[in-house]
Amino acid sequence: MEIWINPACSKCRSAISLLDAEGADYTVRRYLEDVPGEDEIRAVLDRLGLEPWDITRTQEAAAKELGLKEWARNETARDRWITALAEHPRLIQRPIITADDGTAIVARSSEAVEEALARSKS
Protein backbone atom coordinates (compact mmCIF):
# COMPACT_ATOMS: atom_id res chain seq x y z
CA MET A 1 0.00 0.00 0.00
CA GLU A 2 1.02 3.60 -0.46
CA ILE A 3 0.24 6.58 1.76
CA TRP A 4 0.29 10.14 0.47
CA ILE A 5 1.43 12.43 3.25
CA ASN A 6 2.55 15.89 4.18
CA PRO A 7 5.04 15.35 7.04
CA ALA A 8 3.85 18.58 8.70
CA CYS A 9 0.31 17.15 9.02
CA SER A 10 -0.62 15.65 12.40
CA LYS A 11 -3.24 13.33 10.80
CA CYS A 12 -0.52 12.00 8.46
CA ARG A 13 1.86 11.39 11.34
CA SER A 14 -0.90 9.59 13.27
CA ALA A 15 -1.69 7.39 10.27
CA ILE A 16 2.01 6.48 9.88
CA SER A 17 2.20 5.62 13.60
CA LEU A 18 -0.81 3.31 13.27
CA LEU A 19 0.62 1.63 10.18
CA ASP A 20 3.94 1.14 11.97
CA ALA A 21 2.23 -0.24 15.08
CA GLU A 22 0.50 -2.84 12.88
CA GLY A 23 3.74 -3.72 11.10
CA ALA A 24 2.16 -2.75 7.78
CA ASP A 25 4.13 -2.89 4.56
CA TYR A 26 3.71 0.50 2.93
CA THR A 27 5.43 3.16 0.88
CA VAL A 28 5.42 6.82 1.86
CA ARG A 29 4.80 9.38 -0.82
CA ARG A 30 5.45 12.99 0.10
CA TYR A 31 3.00 14.26 -2.45
CA LEU A 32 4.05 17.92 -2.13
CA GLU A 33 7.49 16.90 -3.42
CA ASP A 34 6.48 13.95 -5.63
CA VAL A 35 3.42 15.64 -7.10
CA PRO A 36 0.80 13.37 -8.68
CA GLY A 37 -0.17 14.19 -12.24
CA GLU A 38 -3.71 14.56 -13.51
CA ASP A 39 -3.97 10.93 -14.65
CA GLU A 40 -2.76 9.70 -11.29
CA ILE A 41 -5.27 11.92 -9.47
CA ARG A 42 -8.05 10.54 -11.70
CA ALA A 43 -6.95 6.99 -10.87
CA VAL A 44 -6.95 7.69 -7.11
CA LEU A 45 -10.36 9.36 -7.36
CA ASP A 46 -11.67 6.24 -9.11
CA ARG A 47 -10.21 4.09 -6.34
CA LEU A 48 -11.72 6.37 -3.70
CA GLY A 49 -15.09 6.52 -5.44
CA LEU A 50 -15.01 10.30 -4.96
CA GLU A 51 -14.99 13.46 -7.03
CA PRO A 52 -12.10 15.95 -7.00
CA TRP A 53 -14.06 18.50 -4.96
CA ASP A 54 -14.55 15.80 -2.30
CA ILE A 55 -10.79 15.66 -1.64
CA THR A 56 -10.06 19.37 -2.01
CA ARG A 57 -8.92 21.39 0.98
CA THR A 58 -11.03 24.49 0.31
CA GLN A 59 -9.64 26.44 3.26
CA GLU A 60 -6.11 26.56 1.83
CA ALA A 61 -4.84 29.92 0.57
CA ALA A 62 -4.54 28.59 -2.99
CA ALA A 63 -8.19 27.51 -2.92
CA LYS A 64 -9.24 30.99 -1.91
CA GLU A 65 -7.01 32.57 -4.57
CA LEU A 66 -8.53 30.29 -7.22
CA GLY A 67 -12.06 30.92 -5.95
CA LEU A 68 -12.75 27.18 -5.68
CA LYS A 69 -15.84 27.64 -3.54
CA GLU A 70 -17.50 29.26 -6.57
CA TRP A 71 -16.53 26.53 -9.05
CA ALA A 72 -19.21 24.23 -10.38
CA ARG A 73 -19.21 20.71 -8.96
CA ASN A 74 -20.33 18.67 -11.93
CA GLU A 75 -18.96 16.45 -14.69
CA THR A 76 -18.24 19.45 -16.93
CA ALA A 77 -16.03 21.07 -14.26
CA ARG A 78 -14.32 17.82 -13.14
CA ASP A 79 -11.20 18.25 -15.29
CA ARG A 80 -10.76 21.83 -14.07
CA TRP A 81 -10.75 20.60 -10.48
CA ILE A 82 -8.27 17.82 -11.28
CA THR A 83 -5.95 20.31 -12.99
CA ALA A 84 -6.10 22.55 -9.91
CA LEU A 85 -5.16 19.62 -7.64
CA ALA A 86 -2.22 18.69 -9.89
CA GLU A 87 -0.99 22.29 -10.08
CA HIS A 88 -1.56 22.98 -6.37
CA PRO A 89 -1.00 19.66 -4.54
CA ARG A 90 -1.39 21.34 -1.15
CA LEU A 91 -5.11 21.35 -1.98
CA ILE A 92 -5.27 17.54 -1.86
CA GLN A 93 -6.81 16.15 1.32
CA ARG A 94 -4.43 13.98 3.28
CA PRO A 95 -3.47 11.34 4.10
CA ILE A 96 -4.67 9.11 1.29
CA ILE A 97 -3.93 5.40 1.51
CA THR A 98 -4.12 3.23 -1.58
CA ALA A 99 -4.85 -0.30 -0.41
CA ASP A 100 -3.57 -3.47 -2.01
CA ASP A 101 -7.10 -4.51 -3.02
CA GLY A 102 -7.30 -1.65 -5.53
CA THR A 103 -9.30 0.71 -3.33
CA ALA A 104 -8.19 3.87 -1.55
CA ILE A 105 -9.31 5.79 1.51
CA VAL A 106 -8.84 9.27 2.93
CA ALA A 107 -7.35 8.21 6.25
CA ARG A 108 -8.05 11.16 8.54
CA SER A 109 -9.20 8.93 11.41
CA SER A 110 -7.77 5.86 13.10
CA GLU A 111 -10.86 3.93 11.93
CA ALA A 112 -10.09 4.82 8.30
CA VAL A 113 -6.47 3.66 8.70
CA GLU A 114 -7.70 0.41 10.22
CA GLU A 115 -10.10 -0.04 7.29
CA ALA A 116 -7.23 0.44 4.83
CA LEU A 117 -5.19 -2.13 6.76
CA ALA A 118 -8.07 -4.60 6.64
CA ARG A 119 -8.46 -4.07 2.89
CA SER A 120 -4.76 -4.71 2.35
CA LYS A 121 -4.85 -7.93 4.36
CA SER A 122 -7.78 -9.44 2.46
Instruction: Share the mean pLDDT of the chain.
Output: 95
At 70 the pLDDT is: 96
At 29 the pLDDT is: 97
For the chain, what percent of residues have pLDDT higher than 90? 93
Out of 2, 3, 6, 9, which one is annotated catalytic? 9
DSSP string, 8-35: T-HHHHHHHHHHHHTT---EEEETTTS-
How far is it, in rounded angstroms, from Cα 24 to Cα 43? 23
Pairing relation of β-strands 27-30 and 2-5? parallel
12 is catalytic: no
At 109 the pLDDT is: 94
- The pLDDT of residue 6 is above 80: yes
> Is 1:112 a contact under the CB 8 Å cutoff?
no
- pLDDT, mean of residues 59-81: 97
> Is 4:96 a contact under the CB 8 Å cutoff?
yes
At 122 the pLDDT is: 66
- The pLDDT of residue 13 is above 80: yes
Where are the strands (E) in the chain, listed by range? 2-5, 27-30, 96-98, 104-106
At 120 the pLDDT is: 81
- pLDDT, mean of residues 39-61: 97
